[in-house]
Structure 1
């Protein structure tokens, strides 16, 4: 799934990835749809393209009518002692006639094979155009200690970068990490962040979707989600792989 906005003349500018978990609801990462210190930015005219390997054509499209961000999300402030909770559920304006994906029953543990999907930049310095076709990378989960530089916290998985060169980049945020259970690919996580400005040079952190199962399902069912008390702290830096843009300049 490609999460898109109208940006500088491009009505379908790709910002992040995500997955269709229910026919009218998608799951992505919170930093894709918030500005520091944590306010959602609904004025951008979010919409999604689902069911196509090409982010510009095919599949089905739908508008986003509601954004629900996990109440613990605070742009990684307080990590690793506090959970980052980089997670959001987006309600669509219609139900799509497409296959949804299941949540994995358990988090990806070290040694598990995972498949990463996304339309992020493929140049190691994070420059250059986004690929039009969906990219995939088979890798594995590794011990959390290997993502210490990215301040990995509870509810997150550390994912390896094959050859020390391959991994998520700008535009891959929210894209899924899938793992096989009983012969089927299921959702194990969404791309959150790394700890280096150079894409693929270190391991990456994925929000562990199975560990937020209850919140995801409650949100999808419309169960009220409590808001944080008081102002959210200002983060030290943008922790993720989202494409930087100035919401004030959106056309």
Structure 2
């Protein structure tokens, strides 16, 4: 099997490479955003590559997360409200290269005025929780929870209790970047959009996933669509008994021209007991 890169959403502008396996490597390249100021403001455009623009009111629990690290790096992720005061996102958004962001702000209805509003996360008062088993090079337990400074009135997305079987359809959503992630030399060549986008994709058997994945994650495949830089932590949705539920969060995509487009997601059912342990109300 040829060596591939797992393009993994980290806030730095250049790659940082780890080798968890001789034939696989996790390249910590920004799917999330790059240095503040390196990308200019651009008109609204696609986020998830080849996705569909959604009204923020359709998924009011879908959020845009802005992070500032002590070294001045500014980054952006996506996330989902899971209770009146808690947001779930990717751990690598919250723990980049061993560092913790000094400020985190969560925006609801992003790009939709006057509905847009932002709630800070009290980072210094325990508002940022990274899974203790998070393994950055192996993408294991790539999940974290943010406790907001105050409760919000938006209804949260229910958490799935059953994993998505192979060959079932799921929806991915996020506030990420614009162009084809395989063809763009810059993570956000046209800047970040101010729209929420979504796409339908299909879960593939575990044998189609990179060897670094396990029960804590799953893969989805599409010939024409993909998660992109900035979609880290974004929701992966599936109908369970007629109710739309959060079955995963976007973690990475496989950078191999022969495997367009294979995305990796953290499994919510696998992480459910840990998520519940982080706060009451679930």
TM-score by length of 2: 0.67
Partner SS for 2:209: helix
Structure 1 pair 197–92 and aligned structure 2 pair: CA distance change class (3 A): farther
Q: How does 1:12-31 map to 2 (within 5 A)?
A: 15-31=76-92
8 Å CA contact 1:157–1:205 kept in 2: the answer is yes
2:240 aligns with 181
Structure 2 residue 276 is the aligned partner of structure 1 residue 217? yes
1:48 to 103, 106, 131: 106
Structure 2 residue 270 is the aligned partner of structure 1 residue 208? no
Partner SS for 2:210: helix
2:50 aligns with none
Q: Distance in 2 between matches of 1:14 and 1:132?
A: 15
Which portions of structure 1, spanning 4 or more consecutive aligned residues, are displaced by more than 4 angstroms?
none
Higher helix share: 1
Q: Distance in 2 between matches of 1:207 and 1:61?
A: 26
1:62 aligns with 119
8 Å CA contact 1:55–1:134 kept in 2: the answer is no
Partner SS for 2:255: coil
Partner SS for 1:18: strand
8 Å CA contact 2:128–2:147 kept in 1: the answer is yes
- Quote the offset at 1:187 in angstroms: 0.1
**Structure 2 alignment gaps of length 5 or more:** 1-62
Q: How does 1:129-148 map to 2 (within 5 A)?
A: 129-148=191-210
Structure 1 pair 206–22 and aligned structure 2 pair: CA distance change class (3 A): same
Q: Distance in 1 between matches of 2:114 and 2:67?
A: 15
8 Å CA contact 1:155–1:211 kept in 2: the answer is yes
Structure 2 residue 163 is the aligned partner of structure 1 residue 107? yes
**Structure 1 alignment gaps of length 5 or more:** 8-12, 223-251
- Quote the offset at 1:42 in angstroms: 3.5
Q: How does 1:73-112 map to 2 (within 5 A)?
A: 73-77=134-138, 84-112=140-168
8 Å CA contact 2:247–2:269 kept in 1: the answer is yes
8 Å CA contact 1:119–1:135 kept in 2: the answer is yes
8 Å CA contact 2:64–2:110 kept in 1: the answer is no
Q: Distance in 2 between matches of 1:42 and 1:56?
A: 27
Query: What is the aligned-residue RMSD (CA, Å)?
Result: 2.3
TM-score by length of 1: 0.74
- In the alignment of these two chains, the number of paired residues is 204
- Quote the offset at 1:57 in angstroms: 6.0
- Quote the offset at 1:115 in angstroms: 0.7
